[in-house]
Structure formats: structure tokens, C-alpha cells
Chain A
Amino acid sequence: MTRPKIFAVLLFLTVGTELSLGQQPGPTPPQRPSYFYNVDTERRVEGLIREVLFEPRYEDRAPFLIVVLEEKNTGQLYKAEISPAWFFEHDLHKGERIKMIGSFYAKDDEYFLIARELQVGGETFRLRDSRGFPNWRGGPTKGKMQRRGRGM
């Protein structure tokens, strides 16, 4: 198989996959829990981390890192759900200033955020794409094989 043919096949596969995914985004569950990522309720919150803890958020799923965030101007507290696994590679501490974009919901007089983007320590971390789909590839072993050497 010649090199142009190989790239043609790859291009077909990637474009074809993207198109099919775009047409069939997957089955929609009949009843969504209150804590799905809703892009219509996104808000930007800037403040200080007051607490960090590990907490199961979804039945039978890995625990998430939960950050209690105090908003800078209002003093309002938010419980922000960060991600599973990813937090093993990236460290968040009490006292760190953080800017967060996330999907907001309220429950039992508490404010919650599902984080999509974090800006902390001079770096930005995008945990979800702009549609709210998870981007994290976490854990100490994942994502290490890619780009062996200089960009390979």
C-alpha cells in the first residue's frame, strides 16, 4: 500500500468517525440526573480554595476531587466537582486562587459547579470541552505513551 493511500485511508477513517459521531451522539438517557453538565447554566467563578476532598459523585464510578470554593466578591461557597483520575497528576491546595468555568446547579440550599476549565498557578486546565464532555485522561499511567521522544 502506497503512502498516499495510507493517508487517504486514515483521513477517511478520522473524518468518517467524526461525521458518524456527529450524526449519532449516543442514546440519551430517559431521565438525566440533576448533575449532568448543562452548558446553559455555565458561570465563571473566581475565588479561593477553602477545602479539598475526595468524594464519590456517581454510583459505581470513581471518586471525584471536590473543591470548596469561596467566591472572591460575594463570599458565596461553591462545591466544585473537578474530575476523577486527573487529580492524581495535578495538585490543588487550600488557599490557592482559582478561576473556574463550570455548570452551576443548586441543591438543598448549596451551590454546586461541575468544572469545565480551571485557571490556577499561572496555568489553565481544560477538563471538559465546550460542550461539557470530559477531556480528562488521568492517572499515573495514562497518556504517557503518546509522543515518545520529541513530539513523536
Chain B
Amino acid sequence: MKKLAVIVGLIIGLTGASAADHLTLSFFQNATNNLFQTTFPEKDQISAVAFSYEKPFRPFAFFTQGQYSYLYRNSDVSYYAQDLGLDYLHAFNEKTALYISAKAGGAFYRSVYSDFNFLNFGAVAAVKSYLTPASIMKWNYGFDYKNYRNSLFDHYSHLTNLSLDRYFESRTTLKGEAAWGYKYFLHPFLPSETVSKDASAAGAGSGMGYGKGRTGRRGGYFLPDTSGQGRGQGIQIASLSGLIAQGVSDRIGIRLSGVRQWTVSGENPFSTIEEFYMVENPSSDMYSWNGYALSGGLTIEGPWNTQLKLGYTKSQKDFPGIEAMDLDGASLGPSRQDRRNQWDARLEKNFRVFSVVLSYSYVDNHSNDPLFKWDGHFLSLGIDWNLNWGETK
């Protein structure tokens, strides 16, 4: 029945798009040997089909996008996500422009992960200004509200950042950015009697998360924490980041970047955090850590409309409020700390109306929590198909 709903959603999307100016369809086939990113790897394949379409709606533009991801071995984690909204672009003068948008959407998982089903509303405002012809200042502000099927995860957030860059004739670009964010969980704590009941149920394979009892340590995920009551439900972060990019020739570009993030106040109200296939969830996102990340990248424009990107990222993240535990669930004392090395390669070949993308990533994650000492290979092959019609303005 849910599959039928997905198909109907896609039909509605495509039918609506039949009067649109720009439609993109994509299909990606993915494979990994460690879907749940733990020391007990599980292989799986994921088929993801998506569409997005835009139509100018003077003076606004309407946009919508939808995506269905099907997991072959863990089909209970399959999901559909959709959002739609309006945006507006305005030039104050020749050097400064404003972008604003509002959107609503949601994500809908299959049964086992359905606690993470959510509806959301978001708004964005951004200003881009050329301080000089070779220097750009950008300011962004975003508001996001998510309402989950399991109300423990309900939250809103504010995120703002300010960046400044400068281009030099040596083909060098320098960029600095400062960001501040605040996330507030509306009601993340349960009465203690409810927690103990849920925790035992989760251990039996139900409750929050997919809970397969792989380790016998934590059958369920994202257990709420009663001990944290009164310590606050808001998490405040700040970060500074920098980037240096160098054009070596017309066909080769190099970039180095780094970010340092601090938790200014608050900590995660949940006792565990885990992610699967790098998909963010309410307890494991940019607000859940402090630390740093350094990355380097190389872009090569190849022959026959090909583009190769190679990248490496090294990060160290502490997770305030999350205790490291042994495989039996006993506390090890300190908060969880991860060190991660990630290598990425991406090859794109552009054809007349579609592009083919092949990408591969290898992640090597070290953690003081033994469950999260893992490595994983991620392979993806897909096609982006652009369909356009109407005027070629």
C-alpha cells in the first residue's frame, strides 16, 4: 500500500511537471558493505529515484523535489521524502542581491524507522554583495522546524553564517566564514518510568530505531535521557572555517579547507547517536559534535566532457552528552570521540541531456566507543536526466 502511495506521489509529481519549464529525473544505484556504520558491517544496496522541477511563477519561482530510496536487505528502512516551496530573488542594486525562500516537506520511512517520519517547515534568507569586483560577502540565515511522529525529536533551529572571500590574480581564492547555530528540542525527555519500559522494549527489537540486536548492547537507538532533565534542551554551536582554492590551469583546480566547531552551550539530550549511510537524524547532525575537519580536493577537467574530483577529509569530533560504552553497554567514562579519514572519488560524464556519475568513498572511522570502530566502502552509479521545454530565455 505504501509503495502504491509512493508511485501515486511520483505520478502526481511528474504530471504536475508536465507543464513545467525544468524537470530533472535521476536514478542512482548504490552499494555499501557497512550500511549502519558500526564494527559489525552489514552489506546492502540502495536504489534511489528522484525528481525535481522548477517553474517561474512571476515574481517567484516554484520548486519541488521528491525522492524514494529502496534498501534491498533492510527494506524496513526504505523511505520517501518530498518538499516544495517558493523562492524570490531581488537585486537591490548592481552589487547586492537578496534571496528568500519558504518550503515545507516531509520524510516517510517504512515501519521500523517510522518514528523518524517528520513534517517540516523551513525558511531561508540570503544576501550576496560584491564589496569590490574581486571580493564577495555572503550572509545566510535559515530557520527549520521539524515535527516527528515520535514527538521526542521535535525541534526547531536557527542557523546563520557570514562569509567573505577575495580573489587574487594569481588565481588564488581565499575565503573565511563564521557561523552560529541554535537547535532547541521541544520535549526530548520522558518520565523515568516510561524510559525504562521503552528501553526494555527496544532491546527486544522494537521502539526507536531499527533495533536488530546486533550487539545485544543497545537494541534500540536514540534512547531518551531522563538524567538530563533540567540541563537544557537547546544546543548552541559556533564555527570558523577557511578555504584556499588555487587554479593550476584552466583544467585543474585545487582546494584546501578547514572548519573548527565549538559547542557553546547545551549537549545532546539523547544517550546514543548513530547514523546509517551518512543520513542525518535528529540526534546526529551538525549540532551533535564539536571538533574540527580538514579537507583537500582536486578537480580535473578531462577530455570528452568528463570531470574527475578527488577528495580527502580528516575529522575529529567529540559528542557532548554521549558516553562511550563497551560492547556490553557499560559506560567507559569519557564522552564519545571519533576520528575519521575519508577518501572520495567522483567521475562525471556529460552527454547532451543527461549526465552519468560514478562515485566511490572509503571511510575509516576510529572511536573510543568500540561499536563505532568501523570502515566502509560506498559505491554509487547514477544518471541525472534534464528535461526542459518552453522558451530558451
Using CB atoms and an 8 Å cutoff, list the residues of chain A in contact with chain B: 1, 3, 6, 9-10, 13-14, 17-18, 20-21, 24-26, 29, 32-33, 35-38, 49, 51-56, 58, 60-63, 84-85, 87-88, 91, 93-97, 99, 119-124, 126, 128-135, 137, 139-143, 145-152
Given contacts A132-B392, A152-B28, contact A87 B128 (CB under 8 A): yes
> By the criterion of a CB under 8 Å from any partner CB, how many residues of chain B are at the interface?
104
Please give, as numbers and ranges, the residues of chain A lying within 8 Å of B206 by CB-CB distance.
none
Q: Which of B95, B130, B253, B378 has the most CB of A within 10 A?
A: B130
What 1/0 flags go to B40-65 for Cβ under 8 Å of A? 00000010111010101011010101
Q: Which residues of A contact B105 (CB under 8 A)?
A: 145
Determine if B81 and A148 form an interchain contact, defined as CB atoms under 8 angstroms apart: yes
**Is there contact, CB below 8 Å, between A122 and B128?**
no
Report the separation of the CA atoms of residues A69 and B350 in the bound assembly, to the nearest whole angstrom.
Answer: 26
Q: Is the CB of A54 within 8 A of B94?
A: yes
Min CB distance B358 to A, Å, is: 10
Per the bound structure, the CA–CA distance linking A57 and B169 in Å amounts to: 29
Residues of B within 8 A of A122 (CB): 247-254, 299-301
Choose among A14, A49, A53, A151 the residue that contacts B28 (Cβ–Cβ < 8 A). A151
- B387 touches which one: A18, A36, A38, A119 (CB < 8 A)? A18
Contacts of A139 in B (CB 8 A): 87, 89, 99, 101, 124, 126
Question: B359's closest neighbor in chain A, by CB?
Answer: A151
* Contact stretch, chosen from B2-10, B191-199, B209-217, B310-318: B2-10
Q: Is the CB of B136 within 8 A of A91?
A: yes
Closest to A17 in B: B14
| Min distance, Cβ B86 to any Cβ of chain A, angstroms | 11
Is B231 interfacial (CB-CB < 8 Å)?
Answer: no
